[in-house]
């Protein structure tokens, strides 16, 4: 049987605001997501991350559960405003916040689970947003982000060997500053490109700091996680082939080409024109090559054609219907996701051929349709999620063993059902069912499935 190499790491992922709750406890300051959720109409069910899965209090039980799932690693994010409540470089560091994450990390290690730590999964300290406009203010945010990163490297770098600077900057720029559906809820066609620039610079300067002062001493690696759905041309006409590449450029190349090649993609330059923020030579020197690995979040494949309502901002006509009228795969609870493993295999090949770096799949997962309206007993038998993971795990195995793509790790999204941002608690991505009334956790069949699959498909050391 084909197998992944013995050093392959796998586990599950979460993010601070989606699971921790206890937003006012332990000295935590508010983040832009607290403020966004407080605005009426922003979150589908009117909820917030105020309680979430209560993991700030239940973290020991969570680690115990992770252990039963047989994972080798756990990816989670640090809440910036738990560590520096007001966020800035002259603001005080919160020792309770440091102690919380330190205890979690030590407990993971005691249980043989390797931490993969994301510095920024969207919960910017609200004070920085109010003080100077947050991600829109280059001079301030880059310095404050680097200071925050430094505090984290100092506090945890002796025990954390895998760092991720940002999670999905596409979602931050587009959903947060262009469509206004994520915090801070801005609607603009210039701000996303300013934020694009500042997020990359902040990332690159944090990496520079890590490489210059910590990497050798602490022996870790650092990179960024970008998201991309594979773009399948509707058919092989030249217009559709061009549209598919343009889709990749706007989703991924807008960050990846800068970081790995030092330039924006041609299609982005052509369409965005002077809304793009140029990099100085000094800035580019810091940005180019600023990732030790390619962190990838991927969920689906989109069938792409030119046209659509917003082509001047890089959006194309996307869907899941093939020319013969059939659907690509099983529909998820969210409209943007259908199961299609072959697209995952092609994407992994594309990334390796284009960027030539080892890949960590830092998120991949499925929200079962109507799971929220099922009884717990029904919801834990999540056959559509198993079908999804089976499809994607096999596609990854083929990419590694047949195509020789160096995928080093895989994290299912998510360890727990949790606060799904603007969808509130209506959408469940977890391999663990969370009964929000009691906070009791119920493993779903998919958790067992992945444990068995990885046990069978990783070579013995
Ligand atoms: S929402 C989103 N997700 C999910 C989230 O739970 C996780 O924190 C993220 O890293 C699962 O994986 C990522 N990504 C953005 C999805 C696009 C939604 C499209 C809305 C169009 C207006």
Q: For residue 191, what pLDDT band results from cuts at 50, 70 and 90?
A: very high
| Residue 378 is a catalytic residue | no
| Residue 320 scores a pLDDT above 90 | yes
pLDDT of residue 309: 85
Enumerate residues lining ligand 1, CB below 6 A. Answer: 15, 18, 167-168, 171, 179, 181, 297, 336, 363, 413, 420-421, 429
Four-CA torsion 95, 218, 362, 58, nearest 10 degrees: -30
Q: For residue 28, what pLDDT band results from cuts at 50, 70 and 90?
A: very high
pLDDT of residue 228: 98
pLDDT digits (tens, 9 = 90+) for 357-402: 999 999 999 999 999 999 999 999 999 999 999 999 999 999 999 9
Residue 171 CA to ligand 1 center (angstroms) comes to 7
pLDDT digits (tens, 9 = 90+) for 102-116: 999 999 999 999 999
pLDDT of residue 308: 83
CA distance 167 to 255: 12
Number of Cβ within a 10 Å radius of residue 211: 14
| Residue 453 scores a pLDDT above 90 | yes
What's the number of CA atoms in the CB half-sphere (13 Å) around residue 50? 8
Q: For ligand 1, atom 3, which residue shows the shortest CA distance?
A: 420
pLDDT of residue 285: 98
Q: Has the ipTM of the complex gone over 0.90?
A: yes
Residue 218 CA to ligand 1 center (angstroms) comes to 32
| Residue 433 scores a pLDDT above 90 | yes
| Residue 168 is a catalytic residue | yes
| Residue 208 scores a pLDDT above 90 | yes
Mean pLDDT over 312-332 rounds to: 97
Q: For residue 221, what pLDDT band results from cuts at 50, 70 and 90?
A: very high
Say what the pTM is: 0.98
Over pLDDT 90: what percentage of the chain?
A: 99
CA distance 174 to 189: 9
Mean pLDDT over 179-185 rounds to: 98
User: CA-CA distances (angstroms) from residue 220 to 73, 145, 163, 217, 232?
Assistant: 15, 19, 8, 9, 36
Residue with tokens 């999905």: 168
Catalytic choice (114, 168, 191, 283): 168
Q: For residue 56, what pLDDT band results from cuts at 50, 70 and 90?
A: very high
Catalytic choice (178, 191, 363, 371): 363
């Amino acid at each position: 049987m084909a197998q992944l190499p013995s050093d392959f790491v796998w586990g599950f992922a979460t993010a601070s605001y989606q699971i921790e709750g206890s937003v006012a406890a332990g000295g935590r300051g508010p983040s832009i997501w607290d403020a966004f959720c407080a605005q009426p109409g922003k979150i589908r069910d009117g909820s917030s991350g105020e309680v979430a899965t209560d993991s700030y209090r239940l973290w020991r039980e969570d680690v115990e559960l992770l252990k039963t799932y047989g994972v080798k690693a756990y990816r989670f994010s640090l809440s910036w405003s738990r560590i520096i409540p007001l966020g800035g470089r002259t603001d005080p560091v919160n020792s309770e916040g440091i102690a919380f994450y330190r205890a979690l990390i030590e407990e993971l290690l005691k249980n043989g689970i390797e931490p993969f730590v994301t510095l920024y999964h969207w919960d910017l300290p609200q004070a920085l947003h109010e003080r100077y406009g947050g991600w829109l203010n280059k001079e301030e945010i880059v310095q404050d982000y680097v200071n925050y990163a430094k505090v984290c490297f100092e506090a945890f770098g002796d025990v954390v060997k895998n760092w991720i600077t940002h999670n999905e900057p596409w979602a931050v720029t587009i959903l947060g500053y262009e469509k206004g559906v994520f915090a801070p809820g801005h609607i603009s066609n210039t701000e996303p490109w300013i934020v694009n620039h500042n997020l990359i610079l902040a990332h690159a300067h944090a990496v520079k700091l890590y490489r210059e002062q910590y990497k050798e001493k602490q022996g870790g690696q650092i990179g960024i996680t970008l998201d991309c759905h594979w773009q399948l041309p509707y058919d092989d006409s030249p217009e559709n082939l061009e549209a598919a590449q343009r889709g990749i450029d706007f989703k991924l190349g807008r960050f990846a080409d800068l970081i790995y090649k030092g330039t924006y993609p041609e299609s982005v330059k052509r369409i965005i024109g002077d809304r793009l923020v140029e990099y100085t030579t000094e800035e580019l020197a810091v940005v180019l090559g600023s990732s030790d690995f390619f962190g990838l979040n991927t969920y689906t494949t989109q069938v792409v054609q030119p046209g659509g309502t917003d082509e001047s901002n890089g959006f194309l006509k996307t869907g899941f219907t093939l020319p013969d009228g059939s659907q690509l795969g099983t529909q998820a609870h969210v409209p943007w996701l259908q199961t299609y493993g072959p697209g995952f295999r092609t994407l992994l090949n594309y990334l390796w051929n284009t960027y030539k770096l080892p890949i960590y799949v830092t998120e991949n997962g499925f929200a079962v349709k109507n799971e929220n309206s099922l009884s717990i007993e029904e919801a834990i038998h999540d056959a559509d999620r198993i079908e999804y993971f089976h499809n994607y795990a096999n596609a990854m195995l083929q990419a590694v063993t047949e195509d020789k793509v160096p995928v080093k790790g895989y994290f299912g999204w998510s360890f727990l059902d949790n606060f799904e941002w603007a969808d509130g608690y209506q959408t469940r991505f977890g391999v663990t069912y969370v009964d929000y009334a009691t906070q009791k956790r119920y493993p779903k069949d998919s958790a067992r499935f992945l444990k068995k699959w990885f046990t069978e498909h990783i070579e013995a050391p």
